[in-house]
């Protein structure tokens, strides 16, 4: 095989939606034997198989073997593309250009992850790209889930030979709108279904986070992580402080917060690093977005059975949702999520998988 061999991309049928729409699943493989499977239903990353430090492969994302698993309402957004607005909008409403827009309240009084029928439930139009990538397109119509403007969204996936799963997001609108696009993969570097992630060592490149109220809506404050259980500037086990008597941890039932990423420059930079000491698997997340929602699977409780029938334990996976800050449409001081006609939205997030050298060390 030549050094620059294109990663392979193959296609298979994955089933039909209840409305009868056929759905495909695409399999990427790279020269190192990594394998990523993506479906055009919700743009879901169905599986991501990576080696441990001895070369043994495991699927490090949570999910299901079949399309029907994802069609049930109990799937907590496993692997999916999230939009039109990732995370929460307070009171399910916002005002733009003097007009108030009302959204579906699907999380108490708030709107979560785009509403009742978010982008995670859409059948996207797939196109295999000449460079070995996969492009998914979706037209979110004016008024869909309450949002203004026809929004065309294009997400492209590449699996590179340097073991990166790269997602590029692009969007255009014909009316002023708001958007916040992300991917909701849950990672367990021991392999999905193999216990919890409390032993995973996490580093977040962030000096501040956005504290929340009881509905998990940011208060608007950008709070220093210094001296708090939210300080992940040095690699720390997820479980080291998660049960501390801390108001913010109690509100989130664990970590379920947005960190304000330290940035210099505009391109993708390191947002997070996760290392699982026993397997040596390491995940690095790079993004050009201003924030990351670090969610520790606090709402998983062992009732959902995934691939091979294995249940997903409480805190059986962690999410690193690269994003704009939650509730930005109602927080004028947060970076703007407004997209206007004539503008092109572009964003890149990279999930890089490697292994650490010696057993238990780095
Ligand atoms: C949210 C959690 C929510 C989860 C959905 C995360 O992005 O922050 O509060 O429960 O998505 O499974």
Looking at residue 1, what DSSP letter applies? -
Tell me which of 61, 74, 76 to substitute to probe ligand 1's pocket, judged by most ligand atoms within 8 Å of the beta carbon. Answer: 76
Mean pLDDT of 281-309: 97
Task: Provide the strand spans (E) within 20-122.
Answer: 22-29, 35-39, 45-51, 57-59, 81-82, 88-89, 93-96, 99-102, 111-112
Q: Cis ω on the peptide bond leading into residue 103 (within 30° of 0)?
A: no
Measured between alpha carbons, how far is residue 210 from residues 223, 284, 330 in Å? 6, 22, 14
Instruction: Answer whether residue 362 shows pLDDT above 50.
Output: no
Tell me how long the chain is: 362
Ligand 1 atom nearest to 298, measured from its CA: 10
pLDDT tier at 73, thresholds 50, 70, 90: confident
Q: What is the Å distance from ligand 1's center to 183 Cα?
A: 12
Nearest CA to ligand 1 atom 10: 299
Q: Cβ contacts of residue 124 below 8 Å, gap of 6+?
A: 40, 41, 42, 43, 81, 136, 137, 138, 155
Tell me which of 295, 306, 318, 325 to substitute to probe ligand 1's pocket, judged by most ligand atoms within 8 Å of the beta carbon. Answer: 295
pLDDT tier at 358, thresholds 50, 70, 90: low
Instruction: Answer whether residue 361 shows pLDDT above 80.
Output: no
Instruction: Answer whether residue 359 shows pLDDT above 90.
Output: no
Please, which residues bridge with residue 323 across strands?
A: 291
Measured between alpha carbons, how far is residue 312 from residues 64, 302, 304 in Å? 11, 5, 6
Q: What is the Å distance from ligand 1's center to 105 Cα?
A: 14
Nearest CA to ligand 1 atom 4: 76
Measured between alpha carbons, how far is residue 68 from residues 23, 63, 78, 324 in Å? 11, 11, 13, 31
The rounded distance, in Å, linking the Cα atoms of 55 and 46 is 21
Ligand 1 atom nearest to 216, measured from its CA: 9
Q: What is the pLDDT of residue 6?
A: 65
pLDDT, tens only, 128-177? 999 999 999 999 999 999 999 999 999 999 999 999 999 999 999 999 99
Instruction: Answer whether residue 327 shows pLDDT above 50.
Output: yes
List residues with catalytic annotation. Answer: 184, 321
Q: What is the pLDDT of residue 354?
A: 97
Nearest CA to ligand 1 atom 8: 256
Q: What residues are in contact with ligand 1 under a 6 Å CB criterion?
A: 76-77, 87, 216, 256, 293, 295, 299, 321
The rounded distance, in Å, linking the Cα atoms of 282 and 354 is 5
Tell me which of 88, 89, 112 to substitute to probe ligand 1's pocket, judged by most ligand atoms within 8 Å of the beta carbon. Answer: 112
The rounded distance, in Å, linking the Cα atoms of 142 and 120 is 18
Average pLDDT, the chain: 96
Ligand 1 atom nearest to 256, measured from its CA: 8
Q: What is the pLDDT of residue 74?
A: 80
Mean pLDDT of 54-69: 97
Q: What is the Å distance from ligand 1's center to 255 Cα?
A: 10
Mean pLDDT of 288-304: 98
Instruction: Answer whether residue 2 shows pLDDT above 80.
Output: no
Dihedral sign (CA 191, 192, 196, 198):
positive
Q: What is the Å distance from ligand 1's center to 252 Cα?
A: 10
The rounded distance, in Å, linking the Cα atoms of 35 and 115 is 31
Counts of helices then strands in the chain (DSSP H, E): 2, 28
Ligand 1 atom nearest to 86, measured from its CA: 7
- Output 313 or 1, whichever has higher pLDDT: 313
Q: What is the pLDDT of residue 5?
A: 57
Q: What is the pLDDT of residue 360?
A: 44
pLDDT, tens only, 75-112? 999 999 999 999 999 999 999 999 999 999 999 999 99
Does the global pTM surpass 0.85?
yes
- Round to the nearest angstrom and report the end-to-end CA distance of the chain: 30
Q: What is the Å distance from ligand 1's center to 97 Cα?
A: 29
Q: What is the Å distance from ligand 1's center to 151 Cα?
A: 24
The radius of gyration computed from the CA coordinates of the chain, to the nearest angstrom, equals 19
Ligand 1 atom nearest to 299, measured from its CA: 10
Q: What is the pLDDT of residue 357?
A: 77
Backbone angles phi, psi at 9, to 5 degrees: -130, 120
Q: What is the pLDDT of residue 1?
A: 42
Beta-sheet strand order (sheet of 8-16): 8-16, 22-29, 35-39, 45-51, 57-59
> What would the 3-class secondary structure string for 269-323 be?
EEEEEEECCCCCEEEEEEECCCEEEEECCCCCCCCCECHHHCECCCCCCEEEEEE
pLDDT, tens only, 207-249? 999 999 999 999 999 999 999 999 999 999 999 999 999 999 9
How many C-beta atoms surround the C-beta of residue 69 within 10 A? 17
């Amino acid at each position: 095989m030549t050094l620059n061999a294109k990663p392979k991309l193959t296609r298979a049928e994955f089933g039909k939606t209840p409305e009868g729409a056929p759905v495909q699943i695409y399999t990427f493989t790279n020269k190192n034997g990594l394998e990523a499977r993506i479906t055009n239903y919700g743009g879901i990353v169905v599986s991501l198989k990576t080696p441990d430090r001895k070369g043994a492969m495991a699927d490090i994302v949570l999910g299901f073997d079949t399309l029907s698993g994802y069609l049930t309402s109990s799937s907590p957004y496993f692997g999916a593309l999230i939009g039109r607005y990732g995370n929460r909008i307070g009171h399910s409403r916002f005002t733009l250009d003097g007009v108030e827009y009302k959204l579906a309240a699907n999380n108490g009084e708030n709107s979560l992850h785009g509403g009742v029928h978010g982008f995670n439930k859409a059948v996207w139009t797939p196109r295999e790209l000449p460079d070995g990538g996969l492009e998914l397109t979706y037209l979110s119509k004016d008024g869909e889930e309450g949002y203004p403007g026809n929004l065309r969204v294009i997400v492209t996936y590449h699996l590179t030979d340097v073991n990166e799963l790269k997602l590029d997001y692009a969007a255009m609108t014909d009316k002023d709108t708001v958007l916040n696009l992300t991917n909701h993969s849950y990672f367990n570097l021991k392999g999905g279904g193999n216990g919890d992630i409390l032993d995973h060592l996490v580093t977040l490149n962030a000096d501040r986070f956005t504290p929340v109220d009881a509905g998990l809506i940011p208060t608007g404050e950008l709070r220093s992580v210094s001296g708090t259980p939210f300080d992940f500037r040095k690699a720390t086990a997820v479980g080291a402080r998660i049960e501390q008597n801390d108001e913010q941890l109690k509100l989130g039932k664990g970590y379920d917060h947005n960190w304000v990423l330290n940035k210099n420059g505009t391109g993708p930079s390191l947002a997070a690093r996760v290392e699982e000491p026993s397997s040596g698997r390491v995940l690095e997340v790079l993004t050009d977005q201003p924030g990351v929602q670090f969610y520790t699977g606090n709402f998983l409780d062992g009732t959902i059975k995934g691939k091979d029938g294995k249940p997903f334990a409480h805190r059986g996976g962690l999410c690193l949702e690269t994003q704009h800050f939650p509730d930005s449409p109602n927080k004028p001081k947060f970076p703007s999520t407004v997209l206007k006609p004539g503008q092109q939205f572009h964003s890149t997030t990279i999930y890089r998988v490697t292994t650490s050298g010696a057993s238990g060390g780095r």
